[in-house]
Structure 1
Amino acid sequence: MKYKYQLVTLGSNAEAAKEILNLFDERFKELNLPIDAYKCIDRNNFQDEYMGNQPCFVFYFGNIDGNHEDLELTDLLIKDGSMILPIYFNDESFSREIPGILANQNGIQYNEIEREKIVSTALESFGLLRSERKVFISYRRSESTSVAIQLFESLEAHNFDVFLDTHSVPKGAPFQDELWHRMTDCDVIVLLNTPDFSTSYWCKEEFAEAGAKQIGIVQLVWPHHDLKDDSTTHISYPKQLTESDFEDDIYNDKDKSKLKQSVINELIKDVESIRARNLAARQDSLITDFRNIASSLGKTIVVQPERFLTEELPLGKRRIFIPTIGIPQSTSCQTAEIKNEMSSGKVSIRLIYDDLRIREKWIEHLDWLNKNLNIDVKTLKKQEFKSWLQNN
């Protein structure tokens, strides 16, 4: 397979570049994409390997002494319209470490916490990972309100779209419907597993809902809370907390307990790393369900390397089915391969999605778009897979 994605590293700090490329490789594999679908390019193989007509993302690593390298290649990539992420290393040193031609680019400081985000930014640029980074906090108010608010603020500060029941439900909206809707559309759930969490009806419902939707869970298990017999651990990533993980060892006061910053930093890394593999697993589940139904009806559906589905039709026409997690968005059609398919004029596209717990007003809106807009991109909800395939 000829590679489609070009990952370019320029500038200084070969060790940081190596760490980022190794992490990108791990996350790319977790998305179940063929490893030969992307190519690593640097100054040594740029002239032979770089193709201006293929998707490209550039990591430019700054120099702490202000000795900027690869300026000609950087200028070429800017003119080609490539997305370039400047990476600097010291606080408030962007203007020194990054060359002037990248001064208008939004950069990121390299550290252990931000490594996952750096890699996610590249995957998002390629259209392989959605750019919205959605987290849902599940907790029991009578036990962990202060920690829930602390995590809400910390995750938001790291550019996550965070749902917290006390902060995120619009005034006048049906509370429980909005809660399920936002859970359906999230990437990861952060669950505060306090001693009496599982005794709450709504907390148990949230956990059951997460299982039904196959949403990955990062569990923070409170000190002295035994998780050994908890059957939920097989769908989650539990972290056992100790008293020393809390400021002043206060862990059992719903209004005063606070996690130490080091624990929050680890949580942010965990959420970012789990995000890609969880979205891939949910996408695979949707693909399997759709293909199984299609196969039972005698239809041949092929999974393409980029994880969308195709069905060949008479007269050289083709249908594309894009598995979409959460609420379908038009950006699902923005990968290079799909845009090339659409340009042929012989392709129709369906965004397939699981409509369980999505608010009715959204379902009605998507159905209205299908009926009233004369476009080749439409949506298809899971409960209608069989009937639609039978009739089309």
Structure 2
Amino acid sequence: MKYKYQLITLGSNVPERQIIIDQIRVELWNLKLPEEFIKVIPASSIEDEYKGNQPAFALYFGDTSSDFKDLDVTQRLLKDGTMILPIFYDSFENDIPCVLENQNAVKYSENELNRITNVVLEAFELLRSTRKVFISYRRAESTGVAIQLYEALESYNFDVFLDTHSIQKGEPFQDELWHRMTDCDVIVLLNTPGFLESHWCKEEFAEASAKQIGIVQLVWPNHQIKDIDKSSYISYPIQLTEDDFFNKELDSKGRFIEAMVERVLTEVESVRARNLAARQDNLVTEFRNIAGKNKRKVTVQPEKILTEDLPNGEHIIYIPTIGIPQSTSCQSAEIKKELMGYDEVSIRLIYDDLRIRDKWLKHLEWLNDNFRKDIKTLKKQDFELWLQKA
């Protein structure tokens, strides 16, 4: 591989260090990326193995006895602008050195394992830094749980869509709902007994399956999943019991016990990487099929991007973009351009424009016409036209 993402481990040599590294490797597998994509560098090897011109992220493992290690390396990385995530166990003030007092930290627990892993993947632009979740539910049956999960997910820095909280007055309701679903990472679906009796709830389920968006499906007690519920291969059902509800109340005002809320948060974090890989694969496969039909030779790189070398010596990088392309997508494209070693290259952020609102599509077209010439967006409905060009 031409480059590696560098994960630097600092601080105490605790068992959690290897647990996190192993979980990162699991998530790389879920993303269908090679394990060697991330190079793990202990502080003791920093002089020999660390490369300042390649992406880096560091984990600092605290010490409950305040016996802080690797402070010189930590200060060097901070001066280099490397992001460092402190991990503590009892209290931040006691477990983490003062040199990291201004860094956001995470208290380690098994429930936080996926969250820590995803922070690393987000830092390396392997997962979107925008963490978007869509809650699908039937108001008459599960409003209490929906609001509870909305608040819990928001507290974990997710951008959560809930129809009663997320659509501004004056916006076309259904257009905005489909738009926000298209741009989410995971759907939390509250599958109550009457969920599929609602026309719009049934539409939301079908739309999620068509878009291959990962669904964390919470199935109410004494309610069996029907065949239509199983139609999405990226649906992850959790069968609930009455004990998962506070005071066993199952009506629209009922709420989950805290342990169930924690389980949902953990599952949402876990599903993100698997969902991203499925949607990327779908977009890449469709683009390659159309390219092959038009006798254009595109190559899939280990980094999950496509490259094309034109007869005139020009190079094009196609980057599959999940959801709606943002300015951060362009920043990520710049990183990939540099790491691929290309000097003269144009970049196309390819994306599925189905259900994205017209005002956003017009905005993206305006950006294409008025800003950078080397990075542009390319929507799925224009794949054929673009690839037909000589």
Post-superposition CA distance 1:141-181 (Å, at most 9, x none):
11111110111011111111100000000111000000000
Paired with 1:166 and 1:121, the residues of 2 have a C-alpha distance of 29
Paired with 2:180 and 2:13, the residues of 1 have a C-alpha distance of 41
User: Is residue 11 of structure 1 aligned with residue 8 of structure 2?
Assistant: no
Distance 1:317 1:363, change over 3 A: same
Paired with 2:107 and 2:376, the residues of 1 have a C-alpha distance of 40
Paired with 1:208 and 1:81, the residues of 2 have a C-alpha distance of 45
Q: Which residue of 2 aligns with 1:325?
A: 322
User: Is residue 283 of structure 1 aligned with residue 289 of structure 2?
Assistant: no
For residue 241 of structure 1, what is the amino acid of its counterpart? L
> Which ranges in structure 1 are unaligned for 5 or more consecutive residues?
none
Q: Secondary structure at the match of 1:186?
A: coil
Whether contact under 8 Å (1:135, 1:163) holds in the other structure is yes
Whether contact under 8 Å (2:86, 2:104) holds in the other structure is yes
Q: Which residue of 2 aligns with 1:305?
A: 302
Q: Which residue of 2 aligns with 1:314?
A: 311
The answer to which of 28-37 and 132-141 deviates more is: 28-37
% identity of equivalent residues: 59
Q: Which residue of 1 aligns with 2:231?
A: 232
Distance 1:119 1:342, change over 3 A: closer
Paired with 1:190 and 1:307, the residues of 2 have a C-alpha distance of 27
Paired with 1:319 and 1:265, the residues of 2 have a C-alpha distance of 44
Q: Secondary structure at the match of 2:10?
A: strand
Q: Which residue of 2 aligns with 1:25?
A: 25
Whether contact under 8 Å (1:60, 1:87) holds in the other structure is yes
The answer to which of 192-201 and 7-16 deviates more is: 7-16
Distance 1:72 1:276, change over 3 A: same
> Which ranges in structure 2 are unaligned for 5 or more consecutive residues?
none
User: Is residue 376 of structure 1 aligned with residue 374 of structure 2?
Assistant: yes
Paired with 2:13 and 2:20, the residues of 1 have a C-alpha distance of 11
User: Is residue 195 of structure 1 aligned with residue 193 of structure 2?
Assistant: yes
- Please state how far the C-alpha of 1:286 moved relative to its aligned partner: 0.3
The answer to which of 95-104 and 208-217 deviates more is: 95-104
Q: Which residue of 1 aligns with 2:71?
A: 71
Paired with 1:140 and 1:384, the residues of 2 have a C-alpha distance of 36
Report the TM-score when normalising by structure 1: 0.95
For residue 368 of structure 1, what is the amino acid of its counterpart? W
The answer to which of 373-382 and 190-199 deviates more is: 373-382
Paired with 2:230 and 2:100, the residues of 1 have a C-alpha distance of 51
Paired with 1:101 and 1:85, the residues of 2 have a C-alpha distance of 12
- Please state how far the C-alpha of 1:49 moved relative to its aligned partner: 1.7
- Please state how far the C-alpha of 1:3 moved relative to its aligned partner: 4.6
Q: Which residue of 2 aligns with 1:296?
A: 293
Whether contact under 8 Å (2:212, 2:232) holds in the other structure is no
Q: Which residue of 2 aligns with 1:271?
A: 268
Residue pairs, 1:96-115, within 5 angstroms: 96-115=94-113
Post-superposition CA distance 1:218-273 (Å, at most 9, x none):
0000000012544336331000000111011111x112x01011011011000001
Residue pairs, 1:123-162, within 5 angstroms: 123-162=121-160
Q: How many residues align?
A: 388
Paired with 1:217 and 1:374, the residues of 2 have a C-alpha distance of 36
Post-superposition CA distance 1:28-70 (Å, at most 9, x none):
1211112122211113433322222211110001111111011
For residue 63 of structure 1, what is the amino acid of its counterpart? D
Alignment RMSD (CA, Å): 1.6
